[in-house]
Amino acid sequence: MNNTITTNDRFDRLTNLDIRTHYADIIIYANMSDFLGAFAYWVTAQNPNNQLLDILPSLTAFERYISGAFDHITLPEKFDTVRLRKYINETSFERIPEIDDLNNLTPDFIDLGALARNVYYMILREYITQNLESIKVPYIYTWGG
């Protein structure tokens, strides 16, 4: 049995294991929209019911929560995987009532652990596959003297 792990040549098949193995020490710069987009995508994608889901309450609550990770909500913020995991995890999602409500949908529910994992890896995957390592946080200039 071969236990060698290699990164796929095609980034569209970059697995969570690839990211965990080869990008554990990555530093990323992410905008608040990266977090909101990943959250909205996965809440919608994980909806197991055959009806539309109003994601606005959970998305708005997530926006309030994640804004605490940003010094300036209009600028990219620096994250390593530890800091990213601090904000995107099942326990944090369970503590936000509007997100925890997703775990109580009927007839079926959204698994908050899977939701957190998917959001976490989507943010990392987008950064890695878009080759955004060259992007630096812009300076904030103060005019006047």
Residue 6 lies in a domain: no
Flag whether 75 is in a domain.
Answer: yes
Residue 44 falls within a domain, yes or no?
yes
Structural domain count of the chain: 1
Q: Consecutive sets of 10 residues in the chain, 145 residues long: mean pLDDT of each?
A: 55 81 93 97 95 96 98 94 98 98 94 98 92 51 45
Task: Evaluate whether residue 99 is within a structural domain.
Answer: yes
- 35 lies in some domain: yes
CA within 13 Å, CB half, 141: 3
Q: Looking at the domain assignment, is residue 121 inside a domain?
A: yes
Question: Is the C-alpha dihedral spanning 59, 45, 41, 94 positive or negative?
Answer: positive
Residue 117 near residue 81, CB atoms below 8 Å: no
Residue 141 covered by a domain: no
Q: What is the reported pLDDT for 12?
A: 56
- Determine the Cα–Cα distance for residues 37 and 35; give it in Å rounded to an integer: 6
Instruction: State which residues form the domain around 31.
Output: 24-134
Rounded to two decimals, what is the model's pTM? Answer: 0.83
19 inside domain = no
